[in-house]
Structure 1
Amino acid sequence: MEKTRPSFIRQRINSFGFAMKGISSAFRSEVNLRWHVLSAGLAVGLGFYLELTTVEWALVCVAIGLVWMAELFNTAIEVVVNLVSPGPHPLAGKAKDIAAGAVLIASITAAAIGLLVFWPYLVQLME
């Protein structure tokens, strides 16, 4: 019996399922990702409290997305490196360090965006 391919819509639904499975797996295994999610929740809560403008929300969303993407890429790279090089190897370490550096740059960028967006509001609240 010939196996039929899933429909286009079913393929898209399956793709979203696989993506959610990957995010969930990373969330369970990566402490840093949980910290990023917590930080994002605090930023979103503060944004609602301060009533950010549409442009400010866009900047905050881009910053959150940037950090989450970097952390997920870092996790994927670590998993693949561990698969192909289970033991210590200088190139494996270098790949992991570079991926971690990308997360650091994304996090610093997000912090800068956060300061630029939230600082004026916080200064105004303190006056």
Structure 2
Amino acid sequence: MNEFLRLRIRAFGYAFSGWWYVIRTQRNAWIHAIISIVIVVLCLFLNLPARDWAVIILTIALVWISEFLNTALEAVVDLAMPIHHPLARVGKDVGAAAVLISAIAAVLVGIFIIGPALWQKIAPFFAR
């Protein structure tokens, strides 16, 4: 196996190790995982068009990326500042705010994309 390929495989290993670290250590990552799975299953049920899928996938990725970056920021802050410092708290709070903003955006995207399609599927059950 050539060196380039071996280094790429090793890089993927590092990335999956980071992903597993987030899943193992961050409670909110479990919430993101469950919601991501539910949304994908719901989108399959609704048979959404490709453009809607693209937006949903990008939105799910945005939330995960925010969670990963927040976890990385928290780890670096903890390493650099083992004692409590007001600026360390600011860094952690701002990272958490980024996750919150991405989650709120994801909910809004879900309402705009999944909401009408879901209502169209379930509305007949409410008609008299």
Same fold? TM cut 0.5 = yes
SS in 2 for 1:88: coil
Are 1:109 and 2:105 matched, yes or no?
yes
The equivalent residue for 2:123 is 126
The equivalent residue for 1:3 is none
Equivalent residue for 1:66, pick from 50, 62, 68: 62
- Name stretches of at least 5 consecutive residues in structure 2 with no aligned partner: none
- Name stretches of at least 5 consecutive residues in structure 1 with no aligned partner: 1-5
Write the deviation string for residues 15-49 of structure 1: whole angstroms up to 9, x where unpaired. 00000000001100001011001100000000011
Equivalent residue for 1:97, pick from 93, 97, 101: 93
Are 1:52 and 2:44 matched, yes or no?
no
- 1:122: Cα distance to partner? 2.1
Give every structure 1 segment of 4 or more consecutive aligned residues whose post-TM-superposition deviation is greater than 2 Å: none
- 1:121: Cα distance to partner? 1.4
How many residues are treated as equivalent by the alignment?
122
Q: Equivalents in 2 of 1:123, 1:26: separation in Å? A: 34
- 1:88: Cα distance to partner? 1.0
- 1:126: Cα distance to partner? 2.0
Q: Equivalents in 2 of 1:48, 1:14: separation in Å? A: 33
SS in 1 for 2:82: coil
Taking structure 1 as the reference length, the TM-score comes to: 0.93
Percent identity between the two aligned chains: 39
- 1:123: Cα distance to partner? 1.8
Query: What pairs up with 1:8-23 in 2 under 5 angstroms?
Result: 8-23=4-19
Taking structure 2 as the reference length, the TM-score comes to: 0.92
